[in-house]
Amino acid sequence: MIMSHFEQLSDEVLVNICSYLKFVDILYAFDGLNERFRIITQLKSHIEIDLSGVSFKQYEFICDYFLFDKILSNKVYSLTLSNKYAPRQITLFNKQFVIYQIFPNLKCLKLIDFDESSTKILSTLRYFKHLSEFYLTINNDWTSTFDYYSRIFAQQHLLNKISFNIQNGIELTKTTHDIKPCYTIKKVKISLKTMSDLLKLFEITPNIYDLNVHIHSYDNNEWQQSLKRINIIQNLVYFNFKIYQYNGIKFEDFSNLLRKFTSLKILTIDIYTNDITYLNGCEWEYLGKLFMPKLKKFFFSIRLQILNTLIPDINSILSSFHSDYWHNLNINISHYYDIIDSMKLFILHTIPYKNQTFQISLTQSITNIYSTVKTLSLYVPSAGV
């Protein structure tokens, strides 16, 4: 039998090729070919299993493989399950396996398009001995009555990093349980319903040091009284805040929140607003000097809705960011006007642009300062088509 060109490659080259492939695809493609390929598939010391997008035939193959290969199962450190292209995959996998037993060294669990039929898997979180990262994505609104605190946070787990991408945001304030802090959770990326839910999150995770939060709706004055009772969040070092609601949080209220973060080193904000105070560099400088003395980097994108014919004074705005304070932070500013859906906007942001989503009309141009953008929303005025 003639040897293929692929088999003539050295082990080092084959291992390097495999590093670019999903481990699921490696097993499915190379299993049973010969002893050499079997050994190569066994070389990985840390295995990431991603079952999102696999066919049912591939799914069955992988399940059978790990059921009988305990050595390989012990090397799995990350598992991704998804209902997106395989409905009820999460439920099916949880019924087939006791996950914390078949993958005893699992450190990362990702559940995509999580639905109401999949909730039983959450009760197993406490049994993982090494699980430190948990990712949850929900793309529908069935969770409006779901108690995230009791079903996830209250579990006696060892989670250190969590990421919850939930349509319309999580409502932590709905829990009827007494709050017991989760001291192990330190890094959080989360979408929350309101500012009140953000304050509840601080109560649940007192040791948090890295927070990326998207607030979906502003609850007016309800959260402000609760803020007065919140202690200084001493460990928070990185804070990324998003709220896309023009009549949302005012600068004064937001500054009262930031005053709780005395250890902050990196601040990133992405805000839609009709409060022009957000464009005042002197206000930010005062806030930073007095209440965030450790701040080293500040990135922002502020979209001001212009409610009347009064146009912001550009020279005054830009000059407020020209002090020694801003020079020491190495801040560079870009600005422009735009009209989206008949709404007049003034946009001010730091460069390079740090957010992953950027919206602009056809009247503007994009340069390399937006190199980090992954999603581009381009609004085309109907009159110009």
DSSP line for 10-37: -HHHHHHHHTTS-HHHHHHHHTTS-HHH
Note the pLDDT of residue 378. Answer: 62
Note the pLDDT of residue 266. Answer: 97
Q: Position 7: which residue type?
A: E
Rg of the chain over Cα atoms, rounded to whole angstroms, equals: 25
Note the pLDDT of residue 311. Answer: 76
Note the pLDDT of residue 385. Answer: 39
Each residue of 232-243: b (16+ CB within 10 Å) or e? ebeebbbbbbbb
Note the pLDDT of residue 103. Answer: 94
Residue 136 β-bridge partners? 111, 164
pLDDT along the chain (385 residues), means of 10: 65 73 77 70 80 90 85 92 92 92 95 90 90 91 73 82 91 81 94 93 94 90 82 94 91 95 96 94 96 96 85 89 94 86 87 69 54 67 47
pTM for the model stands at 0.84
Which residues have C-beta within 8 Å of that of residue 270, sequence separation ≥ 6?
A: 241, 242, 243, 244, 300, 301, 355
Phi-psi sector, 327: left (phi>0), alpha (psi -120 to 50), beta: alpha
